Amino acid sequence: MPNNITIDKTALLSRLRSLGDIGRNADGALTRLAASDADKQGRNQLVAWFEDAGLEVCVDRIGNIFGIWKIESEIAPLMMGSHIDSVINAGIFDGCYGVLSALSVIEAMKSGGVKPDRPLMVAVFTNEEGVRYTPDMMGSLVYAGGLDADEALTTVGIDGTILGEELSRIGYAGEMEPGDIVPSAFIEVHVEQGPVLEVEGKLMGAVANLQGIFWQKVTIRGVANHAGTTPTRLRTDAGLAAAKVITYLRGLVDNSDSVATVGTIEFGPNVINVIPDFAKFTVDLRDPDLAVWETRQAALVNFLAELEKSDGVTIETEQLARFEPVVFDENIVQMIEEAAAEQQFSCRRMTSGAGHDAQMMARICPTAMIFVPSRDGISHNPLEHTEDEALVAGTKVLLDTATRIVTGS
Amino acid sequence: MPNNITIDKTALLSRLRSLGDIGRNADGALTRLAASDADKQGRNQLVAWFEDAGLEVCVDRIGNIFGIWKIESEIAPLMMGSHIDSVINAGIFDGCYGVLSALSVIEAMKSGGVKPDRPLMVAVFTNEEGVRYTPDMMGSLVYAGGLDADEALTTVGIDGTILGEELSRIGYAGEMEPGDIVPSAFIEVHVEQGPVLEVEGKLMGAVANLQGIFWQKVTIRGVANHAGTTPTRLRTDAGLAAAKVITYLRGLVDNSDSVATVGTIEFGPNVINVIPDFAKFTVDLRDPDLAVWETRQAALVNFLAELEKSDGVTIETEQLARFEPVVFDENIVQMIEEAAAEQQFSCRRMTSGAGHDAQMMARICPTAMIFVPSRDGISHNPLEHTEDEALVAGTKVLLDTATRIVTGS
Nearest Cα residue to B399 out of B3, B5, B4, B73: B5
| Beta strands at B347-352 and B265-268: parallel, antiparallel or unpaired | unpaired
A357 within a domain of the structure (yes/no): yes
User: Burial level of A99, CB count in 10 A (0-12/13-18/19+)?
Assistant: buried
Domain match, B103 and B53 both = yes
Domain match, B368 and B223 both = no
The structural domain count of chain B equals 2
Nearest Cα residue to A335 out of A257, A258, A241, A405: A405
A242 within a domain of the structure (yes/no): yes
Q: Cβ of A311 under 8 Å from any chain B Cβ?
A: no
> Which residue out of A272, A296, A381 would a mutagenesis test of the B interface target, given it has the greatest number of B Cβ atoms within 10 Å?
A272
Taking 70 as the threshold, does the pLDDT of residue A150 lie above it?
Answer: yes
Domain match, A103 and A242 both = no
**With an 8 Å Cβ cutoff, are A195 and B229 in contact?**
yes
**With an 8 Å Cβ cutoff, are B195 and A230 in contact?**
yes
Q: What is the CATH number of the domain that holds B315?
A: 3.30.70.360
**With an 8 Å Cβ cutoff, are A193 and B246 in contact?**
no
Domain match, A87 and A144 both = yes
Secondary structure class of B176 (helix, strand, coil): strand
For residues A44 and A170, what is the distance between their CA atoms, to the nearest angstrom?
10
Q: Which residues of A touch B225 (CB under 8 A)?
A: 194-195, 377
Domain match, A141 and A194 both = yes
Secondary structure class of B337 (helix, strand, coil): helix
**With an 8 Å Cβ cutoff, are A243 and B239 in contact?**
no
**With an 8 Å Cβ cutoff, are A263 and B250 in contact?**
no
Q: What is the CATH number of the domain that holds B126?
A: 3.40.630.10
Query: What pLDDT does residue A1 have?
Result: 58
Half-sphere exposure for B16 (CA within 13 Å, toward CB): 28
**With an 8 Å Cβ cutoff, are A199 and B234 in contact?**
yes
| Beta strands at B278-287 and B259-261: parallel, antiparallel or unpaired | antiparallel
Query: What is the four-CA torsion angle of B40, B46, B48, B50, rounded to 10 degrees?
Result: -140
A4 within a domain of the structure (yes/no): no
For A240-339, strand residue ranges (E) read 259-261, 265-268, 278-287, 314-323, 326-327
Taking 90 as the threshold, does the pLDDT of residue A408 lie above it?
Answer: no
Which residue among B199, B264, B270 sits closest to A263, beta carbon to beta carbon? B270
DSSP string, B293-333: HHHHHHHHHHHHHHHHHHH--EEEEEEEEEE--EE--HHHH
Across the range B1-9, mean pLDDT stands at: 80
Domain that holds residue A288: 212-323
A52 within a domain of the structure (yes/no): yes
Q: Cβ of A231 under 8 Å from any chain B Cβ?
A: yes
Taking 90 as the threshold, does the pLDDT of residue B271 lie above it?
Answer: no
* Phi, psi dihedrals of residue B266, rounded to the nearest 5°: -150, 135
Last residue of a domain, one of B290, B323, B356: B323
Domain match, B163 and B25 both = yes
| Interval A351-368: pLDDT, tens | 999 999 999 999 999 999
pTM of the model: 0.87
| Interval B55-104: pLDDT, tens | 999 999 999 999 999 999 999 999 999 999 999 999 999 999 999 999 99
Domain match, A228 and A300 both = yes
Last residue of a domain, one of A258, A289, A323: A323
Interface of B with A in 130-159 (CB under 8 A): none
A3 within a domain of the structure (yes/no): no
Q: Residue B255, by phi and psi: left (phi above 0), alpha (psi -120 to 50) or beta?
A: left
A81 within a domain of the structure (yes/no): yes
Taking 90 as the threshold, does the pLDDT of residue B1 lie above it?
Answer: no
CA-to-CA separations, B68 to B65, B203, B405, in angstroms, rounded? 10, 30, 16
Q: What percent of chain B has pLDDT over 70?
A: 99
Domain match, A206 and A335 both = yes
B2 within a domain of the structure (yes/no): no
* Phi, psi dihedrals of residue A115, rounded to the nearest 5°: -110, 95
Q: Which residues of A touch B229 (CB under 8 A)?
A: 192-196, 352-354, 377, 379
Structure confidence at residue B124 as a pLDDT band (50, 70, 90): very high
Across the range B371-398, mean pLDDT stands at: 96
Last residue of a domain, one of B276, B299, B323: B323
For residues B232 and B271, what is the distance between their CA atoms, to the nearest angstrom?
18
Domain match, A157 and A254 both = no
Domain match, B104 and B186 both = yes
Query: What pLDDT does residue B339 have?
Result: 97
Q: For A213, which residue in chain B has the nearest alpha carbon?
A: B228
- Residue A260 pairs with which residues in a beta bridge? A285
Cβ–Cβ < 8 Å for B123, B367: no
Q: Cβ of B268 under 8 Å from any chain A Cβ?
A: no
Query: What pLDDT does residue B341 have?
Result: 97
| Interval B211-224: pLDDT, tens | 999 999 999 999 99
Query: What pLDDT does residue A409 have?
Result: 74
Domain match, B164 and B274 both = no
* Phi, psi dihedrals of residue A91, rounded to the nearest 5°: -90, 180
A1 within a domain of the structure (yes/no): no
Q: Which amino acid is located at B83 in the chain?
A: H
Domain match, B152 and B280 both = no
Across the range A189-198, mean pLDDT stands at: 96
CA-to-CA separations, B4 to B71, B106, B342, B399, in angstroms, rounded? 21, 14, 16, 12
* Strand (E) or helix (H) holding A405: helix A388-407
Secondary structure class of B59 (helix, strand, coil): strand
Cβ–Cβ < 8 Å for B176, B58: yes
Query: What pLDDT does residue A244 have?
Result: 98
Taking 70 as the threshold, does the pLDDT of residue A35 lie above it?
Answer: yes
Nearest Cα residue to A100 out of A170, A171, A49, A40: A49
Nearest Cα residue to B339 out of B407, B386, B399: B399
